[in-house]
Structure 1
Amino acid sequence: MMLGITVVSHVPEIAAGVVQLLKQVAGETPITFAGGTDDGRIGTSMEKITAAFADNPADTILAFYDLGSAKMNLEMASELTDKEIHIYNVPLIEGAYVAASLIPTGVTRLQVEEQLAPLMVKG
């Protein structure tokens, strides 16, 4: 089972920038992103998220986001794919970086989640 990462941000440049950072440690880990609305404004798009899931060759995707409405769109998009999607309520950069640095070492999703646990935002 291949693990991949999807990054979702309200700001297109933030989503793309986080991915640039992650690629410094992610090895061959597949990473996709969705940023902004369909018309390029600040916000998120379920369609862009669905496309990011489809473009990611991984069977299991660890999804990271910046604000609550992105989580809502992630949850809806996750219902439209056959892939296994796991959404994490952690600080976007830190959480995604932890996952990106661990996945190339061959760890399991549960081992990644153990390392993400201290970062989880309550509520």
Structure 2
Amino acid sequence: MSAGQPVGIVLVSHSAALATAVADLARGLAGGGAAPVAAAGGTEDGGLGTSSELISAAAAEVDRGAGVALLVDLGSAVLTVKALLAEGEELPEGARLVDAPFVEGAVAAYVTASAGGDLDAVVAAAAEAYQYRKE
């Protein structure tokens, strides 16, 4: 892992619009932030679904050598990322699937990465979003 470089964040959604909106929200709430974030939503033809090609391209785009945190919205997105991780060649070294709520986890991950947190800290911050109560 590359010290001093930010962790990259990839937001994998079945919807390109949703992935882009969550990336915009995270950047906005972090005051712009310093971490690279990319949306990997939908399919190549603009439909609903997930695309291993779009996910791989987004991960390559945000990779600065400090690891890449991949947050996903629904079940088949999880399966697609797991398949890419199992192949071992399509995602950058240090790529990790994060078990976290999509929106809250993305914001927490982005804020932590922008503050200089390493991959473990980014993953932990995103996972802690499960504890956010809305009552």
Paired-residue identity, % = 31
5+ unaligned residues in a row in structure 1: which ranges? none
Please give the residue correspondences for 1:93-104 in structure 2 after superposition, counting only pairs within 5 Å.
Answer: 93-104=103-114
Match for residue 34 of structure 1? Answer: 40
1:23 aligns with 2:33: no
Shift of 1:46: 0.5
Residue 69 of structure 2: aligned partner: 62
What amino acid is aligned across from residue 37 of structure 2 in structure 1? I
What is the TM-score normalised by the length of structure 1? 0.86
Please state if 1:9 is matched with 2:13.
yes
Which segments of 5 or more consecutive residues in structure 2 lack a partner in the other structure?
131-135
TM (norm. structure 2) is: 0.79
- For residues 35 and 113 of structure 2, the distance between their equivalents in structure 1, rounded to whole angstroms, comes to 7
Determine which of 89, 114, 120 is the counterpart of 2:124: 114
Q: Secondary structure at the match of 1:43?
A: coil
Cα distance in 2 between the residues matched to 1:73 and 1:51: 14
Structure 1 position 107, deviation (Å): 2.1
Say if 1:47 and 1:77, in contact at 8 Å, map to a contact too.
no
- State the Cα RMSD in Å: 1.9
Structure 1: distance between partners of 2:126 and 2:56: 24
SS at structure 1 position matched to 2:68: strand
Amino acid at match of 1:23: R
Q: Give aligned pairs, total.
A: 121
- How many angstroms apart in 1 are the aligned matches of 2:116 and 2:60? 23
Which runs of structure 1 show a deviation greater than 6 angstroms over 4 or more consecutive aligned residues? none
Q: Is residue 38–residue 45 contact of structure 1 (8 Å, CA) maintained in 2?
A: yes
State the Cα distance separating 1:82 from its structure 2 match.
3.5
Contact 1:22 1:96 in 2 (8 A): yes
